[in-house]
A and B are shown apart, each in its own frame.
Chain A
Amino acid sequence: MTTAAGCSTSAANVANVDTESGQSDVLIGDEDLYDDLKIQDIKTRNAETSGFLEVQATLVNLDDDTIRFEYEFEWFDESGFELQSHTEHWNPKIIYGHQRLPIKGTAPDGRAKSFKLAVRRPQEVK
């Protein structure tokens, strides 16, 4: 079954979305980043084949300049416990000036009912 959900913004840097069981968040972690990056839209659904929770959050770069950032998904079961995913990691990404960029994530298994998507400035291990 496919479902979709809209999002509401509770603070300048957080957008909330109600998923099947529990509230999910998209969070822009750095203060200087949420002046330039806006969360425009969040869609969720259960994949037709697997039934796994899928998320698509669209970010918009309000600035003229290219922005480098990282994002990471975390997934939670219906009790709010975080699901272990060994491939969980910060993804490096580029968004060009005034570009709309969808970021997509798929839950690691069928237990995921909510998620957290965090966006931050690059914090590489060098």
Chain B
Amino acid sequence: MKTTRKGFGLALTFALLAIAGCGGQQVTYEDEEAVETLTEDFGSTDVQMMAEEMIDDMNSHPAIQAFQNETKEGQRLIVLLSKVRNKTSEHIDMRNVMNSIRNGLIRSGRFRFAADKERRQDILDEIEYMESGAVDPKQAKAFGKQVGADVFFSGELTSIDKKRDGKRIIHYKLTLMLESIELAEIVWINEKEIRKKRA
């Protein structure tokens, strides 16, 4: 009986040590600009690489400039973020990818973005409230002054995933496009590909 109790006591000690060990895992802050290769799945470096290339191309592509000159006398395009599809087998927050690209485009000063469709009702509610008489009329915003988008900004992420003998090669492709709402014409399109390998 004593031996059993002793054995139980030892097992309990090991279990507690194991739990304490888990709790004591070292956590460090890492450079968010560094290349991340913890797994071969879609990661933060892939988002940064895709966003950078798309932002650079959209900021300087002559096709966008030509469309701007022809349809808006050189004025900046007003863009509406539209459908973004994740056609890979992974769970990827495509909104996050597109937000990174939109941030860069707005901050470059080359594009204007209309508010997201999901925000429109909130904006209308606020204008309605402002027109209720509760807000100083000089500061109240009126209906009929919202921007009208020139182009849809949409895209999709696809992947080809191959595995053999524990090795894996995964090829991601992000395709983005700008489509004229009035002309139903694709104004600009670009692809960014990334290939990763797990040896």
Contacts and interface: CB of A to CB of B under 8 A. Distances in A.
B36 A124 contact: yes
A50 B110 contact: yes
Interface string A73-89: 00000000000011111
B100 A86 contact: yes
A109 B34 CA distance: 22
Given A108-B104, A109-B108, A52 B60 contact: yes
Q: Tell me whether chain B's interface is mostly helix, strand or loop, or mixed.
A: helix
Q: Tell me whether chain A's interface is mostly helix, strand or loop, or mixed.
A: loop
Task: For chain A, give the interface size range.
Answer: 20 to 34
A126 B37 CA distance: 5
B48 A125 contact: no
Nearest to A110: B109
A48 interface: yes
Interface of A: 47-50, 52, 54, 70, 72, 85-92, 105-106, 108-110, 122-126
Given A86-B100, A87-B52, A89-B35, 10 more contacts: A49-B59, A49-B62, A85-B104, A86-B104, A90-B34, A91-B35, A109-B108, A110-B108, A125-B30, A125-B38
28 contacts: A48-B60, A49-B61, A49-B65, A50-B59, A50-B60, A50-B108, A52-B60, A52-B108, A72-B33, A86-B100, A89-B34, A89-B45, A89-B48, A89-B49, A90-B45, A91-B49, A92-B45, A105-B56, A106-B59, A106-B60, A108-B107, A109-B109, A110-B109, A122-B35, A125-B34, A125-B36, A125-B38, A126-B38
Interface of B: 30-38, 45, 48-49, 51-52, 55-56, 59-62, 64-65, 100, 103-104, 107-110
Kindly list the 8 A-B residue pairs having the minimum CB-CB distance in the complex, ordered from nearest.
Answer: A89-B48, A106-B56, A49-B65, A47-B60, A87-B52, A124-B37, A89-B33, A124-B35
